[in-house]
């Protein structure tokens, strides 16, 4: 290839938002007037806060043990001309939350109405991580998978066919090593495509062949939607009720289902004050 052509190609890369590092502007806690909200979900210890810090320039606590993030933290970044508010959530193994911090994550994914949910998965423990991912895909089709700890996977001689995974799941899969900043450009670019509606996804849904169950869910979901107008995921709430999820049962009984979204986030300043005193 001629030198001229090479440099033309290179210039093309530099102006393309997907490859232009300077295109990302970290906003720290300044996230007024955002265009889109992005939630960072995933099992404990998969690198969510590391991704959050890399995109916002903030310093959410990270460390090599699960359960470091216990409340939700928010920060901002600008990418491709849009302002994003990104929400770092506590790790959770499932949306059937059993602990307080899992509930924080669950409530935000379900009721916070994020424009994009990034599910950060551990590439060295993919099978275990798929549980939460498949649950999230049941309730929203605006998902990007961040296949993190790729460096660790390589170290263990694990290779993942991320294209096949993306095809089977029906959503973008981006391999990353967040600790080293690898893959984060593409991650932000996929977030942008999903947020702006450029990418329309058709995620994998688990098929239920029980018509009794689907009839019961439809019937109940209709009643829930009537009682709580504007509530997203009425079908999911119906499923949880049928399964006897005590927190959801209580929220419905007390008429507080809509209020689950109203819990304010803990700001970085509040978190600092809390840990200081
Ligand atoms: N080798 C490697 N380590 C990583 C990578 N991403 C994150 N880590 C490390 O993994 C550990 C956990 O990262 P965190 O960002 O705290 O994980 P988290 O998902 O926020 O954890 P919880 O808040 O407990 O759910 C930290 O020691 C990070 O430095 C990566 O891509 N490669
Ligand atoms: Mg964390």
Domains of the chain with CATH codes: 25-204 (3.40.50.300), 211-261 (no CATH)
Cβ–ligand 1 contact at 60 (below 6 Å): no
Q: Which residue's CA is the closest to the ligand 1 atom numbered 32?
A: 149
Cβ–ligand 1 contact at 181 (below 6 Å): no
Cβ–ligand 1 contact at 76 (below 6 Å): no
Query: How much is the pLDDT for 277?
Result: 39
- Going along 5-160, which residue ranges are E strands? 25-28, 36-42, 73-79, 82-88, 116-122, 143-148
Average pLDDT for 42-71: 86
Query: How much is the pLDDT for 258?
Result: 65
Cβ–ligand 1 contact at 182 (below 6 Å): no
Mean pLDDT of the chain: 82
pLDDT tens-place string over residues 235-244? 888 888 887 7
Is the pTM of the predicted complex or chain greater than 0.85?
Answer: no
Do residues 217 and 236 lie in contact, with contact meaning Cβ atoms separated by under 8 Å? no
> What share of the chain in percent tops pLDDT 90?
45
Cβ–ligand 1 contact at 53 (below 6 Å): no
Query: How much is the pLDDT for 105?
Result: 85
pLDDT band at 15 (very low <50, low <70, confident <90, very high): very low
Average pLDDT for 122-131: 94
Whole-Å CA distances, 211 to 135, 214, 241: 20, 5, 18
Ligand 2 ion local residues (Cβ < 5 A): 48-49, 68-69
What is the SS3 assignment for 149? coil
């Amino acid at each position: 290839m001629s030198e001229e052509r090479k440099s033309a190609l290179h210039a093309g890369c530099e102006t393309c938002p997907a490859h232009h590092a300077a295109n990302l502007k970290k906003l720290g806690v300044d996230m007024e007037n955002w265009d889109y909200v992005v939630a960072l979900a995933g099992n404990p210890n998969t690198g969510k806060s590391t991704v959050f810090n890399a995109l916002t320039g903030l310093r959410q606590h990270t460390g090599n043990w699960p359960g470091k993030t216990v409340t939700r933290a928010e920060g901002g970044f600008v990418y491709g001309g849009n302002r994003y508010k990104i929400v770092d959530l506590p790790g959770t193994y499932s949306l059937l939350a059993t602990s307080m911090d899992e509930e924080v994550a669950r409530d935000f994914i379900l009721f916070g109405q994020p424009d994009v949910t990034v599910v950060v998965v551990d590439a060295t423990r993919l099978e275990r991580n798929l549980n939460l991912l498949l649950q999230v895909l049941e309730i929203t089709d605006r998902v990007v998978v961040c296949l993190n700890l790729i460096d660790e996977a390589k170290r263990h001689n694990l290779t993942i066919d991320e294209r096949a995974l993306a095809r089977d799941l029906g959503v973008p899969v981006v391999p990353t090593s967040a600790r080293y900043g690898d893959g984060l450009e593409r991650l932000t670019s996929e977030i942008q495509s999903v947020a702006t509606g450029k990418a329309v996804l058709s995620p994998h849904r688990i098929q239920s062949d029980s018509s009794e169950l689907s009839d019961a869910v439809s019937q109940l979901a209709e009643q829930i939607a009537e009682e709580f107008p504007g509530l997203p995921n009425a079908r999911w709430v119906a499923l949880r009720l049928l399964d006897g999820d005590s927190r959801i049962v209580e929220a419905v009984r007390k008429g507080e289902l809509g209020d689950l979204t109203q819990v304010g986030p803990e700001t970085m300043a509040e978190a600092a004050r809390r840990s200081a005193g």
